[in-house]
Amino acid sequence: MSALPDVRVGNWEAVGLVAGREINTRLRSKAFIITTAATLVLLVGFTLVMKFLSGGSDATVGVSGGSVALEAPLKATASSIGQTIDTRQVDEAAGRAQVDSGDLDALLVGDGDKIVVIVKKEIDDKLRTALNALAGQLALNQEIRDLGGDPAEVSQQIAGAKAEVKPLEPPFDYNGQQLVIGMIAGILIYMSLLINGQSVAQGVVEEKSSRVVELLLATIRPWQLMLGKVVGIGTVGLVQMAVIGGGGIAAGLATGVLTISVSTAIGTAVWLVVWFLLGFFAYSLVFAALGALVSRQEDIGGVITPPLMFVILGYVLGISILPSDPGNKLVEVLSMVPLFAPTLMPMRLAMGGVPVWEAALAVVLVVALIPGLVWLSGRIYRNAVTRSGAKVKLRDALRAS
């Protein structure tokens, strides 16, 4: 046989060739470029809208005449009840004109002892609360002064007096932004599993229905073809996830909408990638095996719906329960079950407050499941992929040699 050229193709070289083809054709496909760009634009747009909505202060108030003295107390009172109020010193006539034109939300007039406010038609409820609080404060200060006390000292004392809370089990202080990021993480991973998982099944059926699988299997082993496909599509999904997730977080940090620390943001991104990889790998093996059972694209739905239901169920549970109840016990337990972990765990991790052992256990369980899935799906795939025509029964695919 010495005259034959050397045509050895290593196991991993074969997997690499198959994966390379997937990456090459998919990264250049219009569908990929459009969905990635559209999602990125959507996410960046969402950040900008958030910035626009939350940007600046709650209200801009003009101060004129004697009420200029109220400028600092107004800001302090507002911030003590969680509002930001911008102030501007104007003379009364100009201020009235600005209120009328909408440049100012309100104008404080008068001598500074009493709160007199001019608005265009109605006063914003939040602003009214702030001004009422300020009025109360002014009255209190007046009383204190009348009694011979120092209002500054009293308010300092009041500020220092707080109920001391001693929880038996310290609750995690969920940050509103992280809840939003958790939801976005959930949506991203759900979409990614859905889209890329189905791509795997469609890719398998494409090869089967076009019969090219017969040419391929004459040169490489079924497991190399299946693994190459999963790795290739997984890489494409990862690139997409990195572009979208990275772009979103970068946009959030750059516009200042995201005020969480950079390390938290990176932690969230890393966990997202880890769970995408684990979830995608586990689910796509199943999708590849089930896809091999059918020979027509329109039959894919029927075979991959059952496992897909778990992806959808996990996502729906997470997105409907977690935002209002991040510490939910049911979700906490399910997020460690391998079937649901890929969708629920990254959401919980992004929201924060997941004990290390829970995060670790979820990873360990999925990782432990993967060798079994590789074996099982490899068997189904090998037995079913060359049998075209009618749908191959799962039982037959498992039993055949």
| Positions in the binding site for another protein (CB under 8 A) | 1-9, 14, 17, 21, 24-25, 206-207, 210-221, 386, 388, 401
Separation CA 199–CA 193 (nearest Å): 10
The smaller minimum CB distance to another protein, of residues 3 and 168, is found at 3
Please tell me the distance from the alpha carbon of residue 222 to that of residue 211, in angstroms, as a whole number: 14
Please state, as a whole number, how many other Cβ atoms lie within 10 Å of the Cβ of residue 380.
25
Contact residues for 348 (Cβ-Cβ < 8 A; gap 6+) = 182, 318, 322, 326, 331, 332, 335, 354
Instruction: Specify the amino acid at residue 165.
Output: V
User: Angle at the Cα of 189 (from 188 to 195), degrees rounded to 5?
Assistant: 90
Give whichever of 31 and 333 is closer to another protein, judged by the CB atom. Answer: 31
Compute the least distance from the CB of residue 190 to another protein, in Å: 27
* Shortest Å, Cβ 241 to another protein: 24
Query: Which C-beta is closer to another protein: that of 272 or that of 294?
Result: 294
To the nearest whole angstrom, how small is the minimum distance from the Cβ of residue 222 to another protein?
A: 10
User: CB of 370: closest distance to another protein in angstroms?
Assistant: 26
Give min distance, CB of 7 to another protein, in A.
3
Phi-psi region of 211 (alpha: psi -120 to 50; beta: other; left: phi over 0): left
User: Taking CA 264 as the corner, what is the angle to CA 280 and CA 320, rounded to the nearest 5 degrees?
Assistant: 55
Residue 387 beta carbon to another protein: minimum distance, rounded to whole angstroms: 9
| Residue pair 235/227 in contact by the 8 Å Cβ criterion | no
Name which of 16 and 66 has its Cβ closer to another protein: 16
CB of 23 to another protein, least distance (A): 12
| Matching residue, tokens 């600005």 | 98
21 vs 145 by CB, closer to another protein: 21
Nearest distance in Å: CB 220, another protein: 6
Q: How far is the CB of 217 from another protein (least distance, A)?
A: 5
| Closer Cβ to another protein, 75 or 208, answer by number | 208
Please state the closest distance from residue 56 (CB atom) to another protein, in A: 51
Asked whether the beta carbons of 217 and 319 are under 8 A apart, the reply is no
CA proximity to 41, closest of 316, 343, 248, 272: 248
* Between 101 and 401, CB nearer to another protein: 401
Query: How wide is the angle at C-alpha 133 spanned by C-alphas 128 and 139, nearest 5°?
Result: 125
Phi, psi (degrees; rounded to nearest 5) at 121:
-130, -60
Q: How wide is the angle at C-alpha 147 spanned by C-alphas 143 and 148, nearest 5°? A: 120
Please measure the distance between the N-terminal and C-terminal CA atoms of the chain and give it in whole angstroms.
31
Measured from the CB atom, is 144 or 220 closer to another protein?
220
Q: Identify which of residues 105 and 207 has a Cβ nearer to another protein in the complex.
A: 207
Whether the Cβ atoms of residue 9 and residue 219 lie closer than 8 Å to each other? yes
Alpha-carbon distance of 387 to 213, in angstroms, equals 10
DSSP sequence for 332-367: HHHTTSTTTHHHHHHHHHHH----HHHHHHHHHHHH
Residue placing its CB nearer to another protein in the complex, 60 or 388:
388
